[in-house]
Chain A
Amino acid sequence: MMEKLTKVTGIVAPMDRPNVDTDAIIPKQFLKSIKRSGFGPNLFDEWRYLDHGEPGMDNSKRPLNPDFVLNQPRYQGAKILLARDNFGCGSSREHAPWALEDYGFRVIIAPSFADIFFNNCFKNGLLPIKLDGAIVDRLFQETAATEGYQLTVDLEAQTITTPGGEVIPFEVDAFRKHCLLNGLDDIGLTLQHVDDIKSYEARRRQEAPWLFS
């Protein structure tokens, strides 16, 4: 069962570069795990630590890269990641949203996302929000200007509220919103349509029998 997401208020961390790929979000050596939890300490591993990370290391003893944004004291405990265009491009690895969620992020705001990553987020209680580039630019400026800058994201109302009281509306697909609000897993929902799937198969078997041999 996926964790529900209704309303999130939290510190915003800025990831100010376009085309952040899933290799950067969670490097390949951590994909050898057969579990779906525990990826948080290795989120952005190559940017976050000064040494080379491998599975099984005690991450609390590794040297941190002080220049990396998530290592700065002011962004500790961030729940909202502010990003640039094409966030999550590259590999389909769901380990990327697993790592972001395990680290503590619940919302990612960017002008655009890569399709597969965008889709994977919703399966894991993470809300990716697409906003106009000019608004994202402004949020970057406000985040940089104010230490402890927080946003409130209300999924039910589909709004983001800034500390200044500005309310920014956002779009979200109705089905995905319903699943996130209720922590629903898709498989159970799809299995409510077993009859439809079976009748499709019966019809398709006539039309394209080579797909069933």
Chain B
Amino acid sequence: MAGKTLYDKLWDAHVVRCDDDGTCLLYIDRHLVHEVTSPQAFEGLRLAGRQPWRKDTVLATPDHNVPTDDRSKGIADPIARIQVETLDANVREFGLTYFPMGDVRQGIVHVVGPEEGGTLPGMTVVCGDSHTSTHGAFGALAHGIGTSEVEHVLATQCLVQKKSRNMLVSVDGHVGPGVTAKDIVLAIIGEIGTAGGTGYAIEFGGEAIRALSMEGRMTVCNMAIEAGARAGMVAVDETTIEYLYGKPYAPKGDLWDKAVAAWFGLHSDFDAEFDRIVRLDAGKIKPQVTWGTSPEMVVAVDGKVPDPEQEKDAVKATGMRAALKYMGLEANTPITAIPVDVVFIGSCTNARIEDFRAAAAVIKGRKKAANVKQVLVVPGSGLVKQQAEQEGLDRIFRDAGFEWREPGCSMCLAMNADRLQPGERCASTSNRNFEGRQGQGGRTHLVSPAMAAAAAIAGHFVDVREF
């Protein structure tokens, strides 16, 4: 009999019961909650007279709607304010752990959870947010759920699930200088497509993934959903354990030792079988830039905007033409000839301390280009902000003419006041380049933090390896 994959092990450890058709109840260890996808779930509990099954598993923080500039006057948008106040009231009513606005621990839920040790290896982690796949970096089974499921997990501590298939994405060898976790995951999405992982749980492996820090692994797992997979994950190793040691919600003393012993078993067995294996040569991955309106529309920075006339698949060619029209781009334009109006460095993909160090290293002592109207630098949490300020990174950004903001999702999805104007072109470290994602009519190019920072200085995309 073949061994088990990491996903098999995580799945098996959480099955409460299964029906004959494979529909199972899966137990949930950690439930992260934010203001946008939870109000209707709490309302459902209230209407049914139910209480959360295990309050100690819930961690809540507002992130999507919070302002990232002056917070002394609260939230200006009355509808957004009601939503955040509704979360305040719900966590009070149900007695849940909460990092509200004003708490230094507040931030993007996928930055806050790991930073607090709220995400541990071997856990099942859910949140009403598709980027919950981030937490798979810890050898956890983590995925986004809808609001009905948020209510279901609150009420029962379980999810109704069918098992996904196993996919291994192995990134073999080592990346060159200037190539980051973001470039790796964009290259993976370029390879398998945005639906390539549909129906699968993806394990990311290979030397290049092993060589990544926990923050880099989170960046890769974060965008598993952009490859169509609800869950992405990385096996536990020393890097995982070192990151977690001493975190506020990580186990302590004897429990820590017991946990670590168990966590080291969280990897795929050598004889595990995957339904699909994809291999990428890390040495061939270059800094990536998306050109279209789907994350799979991506090329290397030294490439050109592709030509729909060369595409044989008619449906794809139509999609490419629509994307070029929306993006205001001509086929065959060199990527480095594309100017940018706005730069956004932030989001649950790239708003951790290493991301800001990488961006600051590129721009130190330089100024943003005159044609760049705004550069927003938005830390993922209050603690990331504090750390960056202790290291003097905020000064480097401010001296370059960048804006150093308060933590939140910000211009990744533009639910708060941070948004693009119609036609504006943005180099963004976020995860989605969909039409209107960063503001109606806004044009998004996904890149790494170093590439975004370099574009801000040059005024157009540049190859950070030559910058």
Contacts and interface: CB of A to CB of B under 8 A. Distances in A.
Contacts of B43: 34
A190 B82 contact: no
B199 interface: yes
Given A18-B316, A34-B82, A210 B258 contact: yes
Interface stretch (A62-70, A111-119, A148-156, A159-167): A111-119
A115 B194 CA distance: 12
Interface stretch (A4-12, A71-79, A101-109, A191-199): A191-199
A90 B146 CA distance: 12
A94 B147 contact: yes
Nearest to B294: A19
Interface in B428-467: 432, 434-437, 440
A34 B194 contact: no
A84 B43 CA distance: 34
Interface string B128-148: 111010000000000111111
Interface residues of B, number: 77
Contacts of A113: 198
Interface of B: 13, 16-17, 19, 21, 23, 25, 27, 29, 36-37, 39-40, 43, 48, 50, 53, 64-65, 77, 79-80, 82-83, 86, 120, 122-123, 128-130, 132, 143-149, 151-152, 155-158, 160, 162, 164, 194-195, 198-199, 225, 228-230, 251, 255-256, 258-259, 262, 294, 315-316, 318-319, 322, 413-415, 432, 434-437, 440
B130 A116 contact: yes
A119 B43 CA distance: 21
Contact of A93 (B37, B164, B256, B414): B37
B172 to A, nearest CB: 27
B315 A18 contact: yes
Contacts of A193: 16-17, 25
Given A114-B198, A116-B144, 18 more contacts: A23-B413, A27-B436, A32-B82, A33-B79, A86-B198, A89-B194, A91-B130, A97-B146, A115-B198, A173-B21, A173-B162, A186-B160, A193-B16, A196-B17, A197-B157, A200-B27, A204-B13, A210-B259
Interface string A34-77: 11100000000010000010011000000000000000000000
Interface residues of A, number: 59
Given A28-B414, A115-B199, A173-B23, A196 B151 contact: no
B129 A92 contact: yes
Contacts of A35: 40
Contact of A123 (B29, B36, B149, B259): B149
Given A17-B318, A193-B16, A209-B255, A124 B145 contact: no
Interface of A: 16-19, 21, 23-24, 27-29, 31-36, 46, 52, 55-56, 84-86, 89-94, 97, 112-116, 119-120, 123-124, 173-175, 186-187, 189-191, 193, 196-197, 200-201, 204, 207-211, 213
Nearest to B413: A28
A32 B79 contact: yes
B146 A175 contact: no
A52 B199 contact: no
A189 B160 CA distance: 10
Nearest 9 A/B pairs, CB to CB: A123-B148, A94-B146, A210-B251, A34-B39, A120-B146, A92-B144, A92-B130, A86-B195, A94-B147
A5 to B, nearest CB: 15
Nearest to A185: B148
A203 to B, nearest CB: 10
A19 to B, nearest CB: 5
